[in-house]
Structure 1
Amino acid sequence: MKEAIQLSASSFGLQPYKVFIIEDESIREQLKAASWNQPQITEASHMIVLANMTDANDTLVDDYIENVSKTRHIPKENLVGYSDMMKTNVVALPTEARNNWTAKQAYIALGNVLSAAASLHIDACPMEGFDHAAYNSILGLDKQNLNAAVVVTLGYRAEDDDTQHYKKVRKPEHELFSII
């Protein structure tokens, strides 16, 4: 699961988020209360919080360019145009738009962890049903210029879980897809 998140695509490759794997039971109890007491917060074997950056700035781009330079053995001066383009198109966005963009990048990583879990036959439950401000406070995210964007719990469902036998309810193809 960690590799699926780490290797996830993101715009420009910037990965403007941080991933928290919550193992501490007392913290999970606090987060459960901030998640309208949804049981999977404490019952799932694994819990991940994807937190988007709320201060994506030149440093994000500069750190990424440094990583590209080291990883690909490309002189940083050869990456100036790429760096400037990212700073112009991302860093220069108004704060709200930039924060929406960073949250969307966290959701791309969420999609990858959900796909990876499905391929490994691991149950996953993506969650938006939580008090973001409470999560930020409990996990100290606001002090790190981060915001809890989305949560995913992972594990294997209990054998006595009747819902595992329910048919999926989804829109039929003819309603969901349009071919243009």
Structure 2
Amino acid sequence: MNILESLRNRYAVKKFDPTKYLPEAKLNIIKETFNLTPTSYGLQPLKMLVLRDKELQKKLVPYSYNQQMIGDASDLLVFCAIEKIDKAYIMEYFEREKAVRGTADEVVKPFRDFLISDFGGKTQEQIHNWAVNQIYIALGNLMTVCAAEEIDACPVEGFVPSEYDRVLKLNELGLKSVLIMPIGYRAEDDIFATFNKVRKPLENSVFEL
């Protein structure tokens, strides 16, 4: 199946088979994909929780507007924004960059100083909104890989972040939940699997100059 066929086959699954679980190899692909996702400045101001605890998944259903797929999916991905992007965080990135690339300090110093100054002048709300944008990039990347790997998924904005943060103790880790995505395998009787995609004609969606 080529990538376009995979994308045509995917849909936002509304009912997962609770008896089917993703193998470790598939989960590792999901994790690696997340980590390889491009982000602004390469700073990766996001983390992804792979929730495999079924009791916790079911506990989160009421805070997901009672969407049962949250509890039935093989796993639940919780995309989180890192709240503290400060000088120490940026310095850590450049230490990592030096270890990987061996770039001389005088080469990276202007860019490093710019980032420290730029983020030092941002409000917490601005930093959070910037991190949220990076999370949507990761979500799109993961949805494409899920389609290619025949992993069913459903991106979800409909949940109560403050309750997720409380139940999962994300605040203690300096994180805030932004998006969630249950993953696994579709139930045979998920009626949404039978619906044709509704999209604009390509010429009304894409244009060239």
Please tell me the TM-score bracket, short chain as reference. over 0.9
Residue of structure 1 equivalent to 2:136: 107
**Quick one: distance in 1 between partners of 2:146 and 2:120?**
33
Query: In the alignment, which residue of structure 2 is the partner of 1:64?
Result: 93
Determine the C-alpha separation between the residues in 1 that align with 2:151 and 2:173.
31
Counterparts of 2:120 and 2:105, CA distance in 1: 19
Counterpart AA for 1:171: K
Cα gap change, 1:26/1:89 in structure 2, threshold over 3 Å: closer, same or farther? same
Cα deviation code 1:84-111 (max 9, x no counterpart): 1222333422221111001111111111
Q: Is the 8 A contact 1:34 1:131 kept in 2?
A: yes
- Give, in whole Å, the separation in 1 of the partners of 2:192 and 2:79: 26
What is residue 52 of structure 2 aligned with on the other side?
A: 23
> Mind listing any 5+ residue stretches in structure 2 that lack a counterpart?
1-29
Which one of 65, 74, 80 corresponds to residue 51 of structure 1? 80
| Structure 2 partner of 1:177 | 206
Q: 1:125 aligns with which of 151, 154, 164?
A: 154
Give 2:178's aligned residue. 149
Question: Could you tell me which residue of structure 2 aligns to residue 78 of structure 1?
Answer: 107
Over the aligned positions, Cα root-mean-square deviation in angstroms equals 1.6
User: 8 Å contact 1:66–1:76 — kept in the other structure?
Assistant: no
Give me the TM-score of the superposition, normalised by structure 2. Answer: 0.80
Task: Tell me the secondary structure at the aligned position of residue 198 of structure 2.
Answer: coil
**TM-score of the two chains, using structure 1 as the length reference:** 0.92
Q: From the superposition, tell whether residues 48 and 123 of structure 1 become closer, same or farther in structure 2 (CA, over 3 Å).
A: same
Q: Which has the higher contact order (CA 8 A, sep 6+)?
A: 2
1:75 is displaced (CA, Å) by 3.5
- Give the aligned partner of residue 21 of structure 2: none
Q: SS in structure 2 opposite 1:126?
A: coil
Query: One-letter code of the match for 1:97?
Result: Q
TM-superposed deviation, 1:142:
1.6
Give the C-alpha shift of residue 174 in structure 1: 4.1
Partner AA of 1:58 in structure 2: K
> Identity over the aligned pairs, expressed in percent?
32
Asked if 1:39 corresponds to 2:68, the answer is: yes
Equivalent AA in structure 2 for residue 78 of structure 1? V
Residue 116 of structure 2 aligns with which residue?
A: 87
Structure 1: runs of 5+ lacking an equivalent: none
